[in-house]
Amino acid sequence: MNNLELKYTEDHKSLVNYFDVVEWMRHTYTIFNSLYFDNLLPPDNRMIFEPIIKSVNYLGKAYNCNSGFVSVKDPMKIRLNFNYDIVELEWKNVLLHEMIHIWEYTLGYKGGHGKLFKHKMKEINKYGWGITCCYKNILEEVKTWR
């Protein structure tokens, strides 16, 4: 699946092509891991990719599935909330944002939007991406798009 094509059930409460979306997340993650993280992040088969479609106030979330110290061997998860109607390019920015958190965890940090995050974000944005620290402004914009 090269392009992100979201298909919903008739009542729009679940993704018809859930597994295609998971495969898009996995495939895109693998490419970005190679291009921007020198394959330091866990390989895609050590990651859990979860598309969600429910009303929550975030576009994406990344976290370690175990508490305490994080290592590349720990299972980690990236969730993208497809309840928002945004273009594929923006989903890639959101995925990259969450991957920076996975990178922080892999380096042994708790994660967050501090200096380490901002440094990596600026480094990746030099390639033309539009990663931001906070997507609240985007969420407000998305509401006006509908």
Q: Is the pLDDT of residue 97 over 50?
A: yes
- Please answer whether residues 47 and 29 qualify as being in contact, where contact means their C-beta atoms are separated by less than 8 angstroms: yes
Tokens 């509908």 belong to residue: 146
Task: Kindly list the domain boundaries of the chain, sorted by start residue.
Answer: 18-145
- In this structure, the strands spanning 60-64 and 76-81 are antiparallel
**Which pLDDT score is estimated for 146?**
41
Distance of CA 142 to the CA centre of its chain: 17
Q: In terms of pLDDT, which residue wins out, 104 or 16?
A: 104
Mean pLDDT of 25-53: 93
Tokens 């944002």 belong to residue: 97
What six digits make up the tokens of 88? 């594929």
- Find the length of the chain: 146
What six digits make up the tokens of 1? 């699946």
**Which pLDDT score is estimated for 145?**
44
**Which pLDDT score is estimated for 125?**
95
**Which pLDDT score is estimated for 56?**
76
Mean pLDDT of 72-85: 80
Indicate the range of 19-23, 82-86, 106-110 predicted with least confidence: 82-86
